[in-house]
Amino acid sequence: MKVTALAGGVGAGKFLRGLIRAVPPRDVTVVVNTADDLELHGLHISPDVDSVTYWLSGLSDRERGWGRADETFRALGEVRRLGGEAWFALGDLDLGIHMTRTEWLGRGASLTEVTDRIRRALGVPCRILPMTDDPVHTWIDAVDANGVARSDPFQVYWVGRGARDDVKSIRLEGAADSAPSEGVMEAVAGADVLIICPSNPAVSIGPILAVPGVRDAVAARRDRVVGISPIVGGAPVQGMADRLMPVLGLEVTAAGAARAYRGLLGGWVIDRRDAGLRSSIQADLEIAVGTTDTIMVDDGSAERLAGFALELIHR
Ligand code: GDP
Ligand code: FO1
């Protein structure tokens, strides 16, 4: 069974560790958001690609969700001491990845090629494809506490300012002019099952679907598409999706997250504690809705969740 997953960072990474236990990793392709990529210290940083790579290689920091286990931040400490840009916590091991990626990109390799070389070197057994090789950037238009309008790159809003601004709109710069990276369209068209990971619908999965051609290709496979709600009991399990979903007119519930994917889903997995929403989602979107434990505390629970999602759609 060939499985293609659309993924953000942390929620997706946890889930994908379970998925590659539920199906042979060689049959799995992960298409990852790159719209929150940034350049800092002259380095190309791809947070979601790295989160997925670290989780799948077993190198991730499980507590933090992003970055590496046993990480040190000595270089960052020095940057801070010098008065440099230290708001984004790049660890010493993590920096090694960004340096290598930037070096290879500079020599003319595509982000797809670089991502593949890095995932192989770190022992990731399935394919990881950045959604595009083109520059696509999420910008957050917001109003600060003093009522002043501002516009920030996603990571500045999210990490630099701790998501404290009142968000008015989300812009995807470059999306309309981007193309899916090599392999993405084939991976969508050729999959037996497409999975929308428990990721932020607004800033992780939204950008993937905004790459021209991808949304239509997913919609064409609708009866093979299953998603897992990142919203449990009316709140994100981690992160700040609750600040961004309302901007897109979506209520912060498992039903609101499903509506973000209207016309794209054949099945939707929600948590047991949201069972009360099941029939209304089913009726509204005309899809199969499955109820199970969706909180992933370890690889075993992620594997059970992946198995449940596959069964819901692959009847
Ligand atoms: P980010 O880009 O690093 O924030 O990562 P994602 O977009 O992949 O994931 C963020 C989403 O994953 C959040 O909305 C979380 O609620 C969701 N998430 C994280 N852990 C879990 C979990 O154990 N179960 C479920 N259902 N969702 C989770
Ligand atoms: N998230 C934070 O909240 N603070 C950080 O300093 C931070 C640094 C960081 C460095 C590398 C990396 O790959 C991810 C990092 N993240 C950090 C996570 C990242 O901002 C978010 O998880 C995603 O980009 C949201 O989609």
Closest C-alpha among 91, 86, 17 to residue 47:
91
- Look at ligand 2, atom 19, and give the residue with the nearest C-alpha: 47
Q: Which amino acid does the sequence have at 130?
A: P
The predicted-structure confidence for 172-223, as pLDDT tens digits, reads as follows 999 999 999 999 999 999 999 999 999 999 999 999 999 999 999 999 999 9
Q: Mean pLDDT over all residues of the chain?
A: 97
Residue 44's pLDDT band, with cuts at 50, 70 and 90, is very high
The predicted-structure confidence for 138-180, as pLDDT tens digits, reads as follows 999 999 999 999 999 999 999 999 999 999 999 999 999 999 9
Position 260 scores a pLDDT of 97
pTM value is: 0.97
Residue 239's pLDDT band, with cuts at 50, 70 and 90, is confident
The CA 38 to ligand 1 mean position distance, Å, reads: 20
The CA 66 to ligand 2 mean position distance, Å, reads: 6
Extract long-range pairs of 212-219: CB within 8 Å, 24+ residues apart.
212/175, 212/176, 212/178, 212/179, 212/180, 213/179, 213/180, 213/185, 214/131, 214/180, 214/184, 214/185, 214/188, 215/264, 217/185, 217/188, 217/189, 218/6, 218/188, 218/194, 218/264, 219/263, 219/264
* Helix H or strand E encompassing 255: helix 254-259
Distance separating alpha carbons of residues 83 and 78, to the nearest angstrom? 9
Q: What is the DSSP letter of 245?
A: G
DSSP lists the bridge partners of residue 4 as 29, 194
Quick one: average pLDDT of 225-232? 98
The CA 182 to ligand 2 mean position distance, Å, reads: 26
**Closest ligand to the CA of 138:** 2
What is the percentage of the chain residues whose pLDDT exceeds 70? 100
Q: Which amino acid does the sequence have at 9?
A: G
Counting atoms of ligand 1 from 1, which one is nearest the CA of 232?
26
Counting atoms of ligand 2 from 1, which one is nearest the CA of 51?
13
Distance separating alpha carbons of residues 208 and 136, to the nearest angstrom? 10
The CA 218 to ligand 2 mean position distance, Å, reads: 28
Helices 111-121 and 92-106 pack at an angle, to 10 degrees, of: 140
Quick one: average pLDDT of 63-84? 97
Residues in contact with ligand 2 by the CB-under-6-Å rule are 8-10, 36, 47-48, 50-51, 66-67, 88-90, 94, 155, 158-159, 204
Distance separating alpha carbons of residues 257 and 285, to the nearest angstrom? 12
**Closest ligand to the CA of 236:** 1
- Look at ligand 1, atom 11, and give the residue with the nearest C-alpha: 199
Burial of 255 (0-12, 13-18, 19+ CB in 10 A): buried
The CA 47 to ligand 2 mean position distance, Å, reads: 6
The predicted-structure confidence for 2-12, as pLDDT tens digits, reads as follows 999 999 999 99
The CA 288 to ligand 2 mean position distance, Å, reads: 34
- Is the pLDDT score of 128 beyond 90? yes
Residue 274's pLDDT band, with cuts at 50, 70 and 90, is very high
Does the Cβ of 204 fall within 6 Å of ligand 1?
Answer: yes
What are the strands, taking DSSP E only, across 17-157? 28-32, 38-40, 43-45, 127-130, 137-143, 149-153
Does the Cβ of 269 fall within 6 Å of ligand 1?
Answer: no
Position 235 scores a pLDDT of 87
Sign of CA dihedral 52, 57, 60, 65: positive
- Is the pLDDT score of 240 beyond 90? no
Q: What is the DSSP letter of 4?
A: E
